[in-house]
A and B are shown apart, each in its own frame.
Chain A
Amino acid sequence: MFDFGIWTKWFNDLLVGCMPEWLAILIECVVIAVLVLLTYTVLALFYILYERKLCAWFQCRLGPMRVGKWGLLQVFADMFKILVKELISLKGTDRFLFKLAPYLVITSSVVMLACLPWGRGLQIINYNIGIFFILAVSSVGVLGILLAGWSSNNKYTLIGAMRSGAQMISYEISLGLALITIVVFAGTMNISELVYEQEKAWFLFRGHIPAIIAFLIYIVAATAETNRGPFDLPEAEHELIAGYHTEYSGIHFGFFYLAEYLNLFIVSGIASLMFLGGWMPLHIPGWDGFNAVMNWIPSIVWFLGKAFFISFVIIWFKWTFPRVRIDQMLAFEWKYLMPLSLANLLLMAVFVALGWHF
């Protein structure tokens, strides 16, 4: 399997060979930052088109067709449009917080993106507490949403922000517990180690029953975390106009819009990392020929493929299910999902202690 580490090492050696080390590191940082932002934009644009095409498909429609071949350029048109739209400054808002909020939201999702392992040797941040770090950063996004709702000085945005706060804080518990279940199983929080642990077989298969339960809990909680249907209450279009970002226009609105889609990718990425082996190909112990064929497919394709598939499922939810009500949503989390994930954690601990796994 191709290791992208060869490229990065070559680039590093090239820089170090002709300049002092601090300058080399600085240049590398800048290059990485540009690459991350570029990836971020391209991925977000891809996701917007992906969702629009998918929902058109569910709804017996065609979706964007006319701008570029099969509507491929549609999202670029949208991007140019959003870039030139007016940024309306409002009377009665908290100016500083109002402008800060979209940046908080987008920063948190950019940092999370940087933590994901894209392929063999393609990872930017590799902490020993990687998963913990991702969870911590994701909470900053909630702050941005709360600030957006509060600073807009609008009743819809306030209700949207409060709903969002209640929802995200609740579902973060289940999300965290589902991930901890896997951490207990793997015995590490380091992202690259998590991936290498799955070389033999993915965690979903190795941990069988508790892992599958954790995976299902994770998918539900992740849907809620990303504010997507049936948990899209914070921006419930038919109740609250556009929820917490009702008052945002132009690129500030664009940031929320991009972050929403990128968060979808990130939660799918984490799901694929924790349950489906990250960039690790599908390996079945004993089937060496099959494993060799699987290794032929580049690691980045594996990672993106898994992430897109999970996103597809989440998008499918959104376009099929009606929206739940705030009390039903909270009752679902606190009465069913959280006790279940706690019990599941216990189950996993028992399984690990007794060695009932592959």
Chain B
Amino acid sequence: MEVKIKSMKHEDFKDNEYIDKLVEELNASGTNVMVGKLDQLINWGLSNSLWPLTFGTSCCAIEFMSLGAARYDMARFGFEVARNSPRQADYIMVQGTIVHRMVPALLRLYDQLAEPKYVIACGGCAVSGGPFKNSYCVLPGVDKVLPVDVYIPGCPPRPEAFFYGLMQLQRKIKVQKFFGGVNRKERIEEFFAKHPEERGQLG
């Protein structure tokens, strides 16, 4: 099984190793045909209907607005139904620096998202702290507090980069299993249970 994205060839993606490995692992254990087909249908729905939570802290949010505007038009992919209520959104796209005061709000927003939920770290600040890494109150990357699915580097990333990142998220969704235990999305408690050292880092 190959993960297909419309109009993007497999070799056009830069990092295919991890996704090929995931697919291989999944197929090694084998799946029930019925469940497999149902999974594919659900994943098709999930991956093509990614509704973002409007969450922008700085410059990247303006580029995200450009993404919605006429030239880049993310509506083509069905991403345009930006929900302001986290209950109704599918992924949180962290656009901009996260500072100490914002962390509790960000965590709360993540908790308020309905499963299945995804996180995209967008822009240098969200990926690693960016130019403000050394500051006294900047979180050096949202992956310190949230499980990040896709990183989109740039300062701010170009709209094309946003699309590439969103397609990467679609690919990840297409290999997940809604039924069955393999490669299901972990809840944050499960993640911490498996990686207790990560919790320690958060102080």
Contacts and interface: CB of A to CB of B under 8 A. Distances in A.
A80 B38 CA distance: 11
A80 B115 contact: no
B48 interface: yes
A62 B46 CA distance: 22
Interface residues of B, number: 29
A287 to B, nearest CB: 44
B49 A62 contact: no
A19 interface: no
B19 interface: no
B75 A64 contact: yes
Interface stretch (A70-78, A213-221, A317-325): A70-78
B42 A84 contact: yes
Taking residues whose C-beta sits less than 8 angstroms from the other chain, chain A's interface range is 35 or more
Interface stretch (A135-143, A248-256, A337-345): A248-256
Interface string B157-194: 00000000000000000000010000000000000000
A66 B114 contact: no
A66 B116 CA distance: 22
Contacts of B48: 66-67, 73-74, 77, 81
Interface in B67-95: 70, 73, 75-78, 80-81, 83-85, 87-88, 90
A254 to B, nearest CB: 9
Contact of B87 (A64, A78, A83, A249): A249
Interface of A: 52, 56, 59-67, 71, 73-74, 76-88, 237, 241-242, 245-250, 253
22 contacts: A56-B73, A62-B76, A66-B78, A67-B48, A71-B78, A76-B45, A77-B47, A78-B78, A78-B81, A80-B41, A82-B49, A84-B116, A85-B90, A85-B116, A86-B115, A86-B116, A88-B112, A88-B114, A246-B85, A247-B85, A247-B87, A253-B87
Interface of B: 6-7, 41-42, 44-49, 70, 73, 75-78, 80-81, 83-85, 87-88, 90, 112, 114-116, 178
